[in-house]
Structure 1
Amino acid sequence: MTASSNSFPIPFAPQSTQDTDLLQQIGFLPGVKELLSLRQVHALEHATVRVMEEMATIPLAAERVESITGLSTEQGFYLYGATDVAELRRAVPEALRRLVGGDWDIAVHPRCGTNLSVSMLLTLGLGSGLGWFLPKDPLGQALGFGVGAIAASSLAPDLGSLTQRHITTAIPFNLTVDTITAERDSWGRTTHFVRVHWVDVERVG
């Protein structure tokens, strides 16, 4: 599998020891390791869902996978929805293998909440900004927010993907999968939890 950094306009060339090196430099700060782990888990969550989407070869299965939602923590990630545990156990190691092997695009998912957050911020920012240059009456302000919303809807997918790629996810070079278990959350919903642990990567040479 070849690296896919050219799919994005901003250079992206992650190194296997980057988070280990960063942890050695600033690991004394509270929460640094948890944040680094969370970004890597987030990427693995996205990649797992994308692999499951590829595995869904019939419409009914594809519809089921599209209904799955996820939640990442520094210790692993939850998948909510009609998840087939056998399918999940095949998808997780495959997703990790592909990510570490250079298939970095699967760390980004179009249904991630990051995209929604980016869209909302863009709409608010562009709408408010345009409002400064338009009449202050209700019609002028409504026009500003309308134009801002249209512009945001056009820009959000690409900016959301860039935000995922460079901020909210990281290639999981340091993660090893421990267990995949079925659980129930505090609302009684069935969920599957993929537990991981952190392993430092040694620099070669």
Structure 2
Amino acid sequence: MSILNWTPVARMRRNHALEHATLQVLAERHPHLMAAGYSDTRGFWIVGNLSTEEVYEAVEQALARLNAGEYRLAIHPNCGTNFAAAGFFAGTVGWLASLNMGRDLRSRLERWSVIVPLVTLALILAAPLGPLLQQRITTAPPHGLRVVEITRQVQGDLIAHRILTQG
């Protein structure tokens, strides 16, 4: 059995897909909306200045569209998976380029002109990897997933909605 099919991981992947799709639906309705999401095994959070009704409608539409085959909604351009993939490759290339670097300032500055283009190239090459990782590893179609509760929490200026799922 693959770890991706282990019940807690599979639930988180389905919730992650629905979180992304919900954010995409909200972005279609509010193009300049500042919002974020976070998924776990019980559901996900949507953080942003939104009414509970707006969140409920977006979640329901996102789930319906995903179940109808619109899986592109599950791949989000601002997902942490994209940033982690880019950071991993850029950091690794930067580290490799710094091996055997002298300890004096002059040798470090000379190596800088090599490190910056290599890290830039790593970021460019890593760009398509994040969405691929989302598609194959960090999200999954939400088959059988249903929303059981949406609650609103406010702390100062921060508004968050907790979406609990089952299935």
Verify same fold: TM over 0.5: yes
From 98, 102, 123, the equivalent of 1:153 is: 123
* Structure-2-length-normalised TM-score: 0.85
- Which residues of 2 match residues 121-160 of structure 1 at below 5 A? 121-131=88-98, 137-160=107-130
Q: Percent identity?
A: 30
- What is the distance in 1 between the residues matched to 2:92 and 2:137? 20
Task: Please list every run of 5 or more consecutive structure 1 residues that lacks an aligned counterpart in the other structure.
Answer: 1-24, 57-61, 199-205
* Structure-1-length-normalised TM-score: 0.70
- What is the distance in 2 between the residues matched to 1:127 and 1:144? 9
Q: Give CA-to-partner distance per residue, 1:83-119, whole Å, 9 cap, x none.
A: 2322211111111111121111110111111111111
- What is the distance in 1 between the residues matched to 2:88 and 2:113? 18
Q: Does the Cα contact within 8 Å between 1:40 and 1:169 map onto a contact in 2?
A: yes
Structure with the higher fraction of residues in strand conformation = 2
- What is the distance in 1 between the residues matched to 2:158 and 2:28? 25
Alignment correspondent of 1:110: 77
From 137, 152, 164, the equivalent of 1:195 is: 164
Letter paired with 1:41: N
Q: Which runs of 4+ in 1 moved over 4 A?
A: none
User: What is the deviation of 1:143?
Assistant: 2.5
Q: Does the Cα contact within 8 Å between 2:82 and 2:130 map onto a contact in 1?
A: yes
Q: Does the Cα contact within 8 Å between 2:17 and 2:141 map onto a contact in 1?
A: yes
- What is the distance in 2 between the residues matched to 1:158 and 1:128? 22
Q: How many residues are treated as equivalent by the alignment?
A: 162
**1:195 aligned counterpart, secondary structure:** strand
Residue 33 in 1 paired to residue 24 in 2?
no
- What is the distance in 1 between the residues matched to 2:114 and 2:9? 37
Task: Please list every run of 5 or more consecutive structure 2 residues that lacks an aligned counterpart in the other structure.
Answer: none
- What is the distance in 2 between the residues matched to 1:69 and 1:128? 31
Alignment correspondent of 1:72: 39
Letter paired with 1:42: H
Q: Does the Cα contact within 8 Å between 1:127 and 1:147 map onto a contact in 2?
A: no
Q: Which deviates more from structure 2 when the two are superposed, residues 44-53 or residues 89-98? A: 89-98
- What is the distance in 2 between the residues matched to 1:101 and 1:147? 43
Q: Does the Cα contact within 8 Å between 1:127 and 1:144 map onto a contact in 2?
A: no
Alignment correspondent of 2:18: 44
Q: Give CA-to-partner distance per residue, 1:56-95, whole Å, 9 cap, x none.
A: 2xxxxx22x2x10111111111111212322211111111
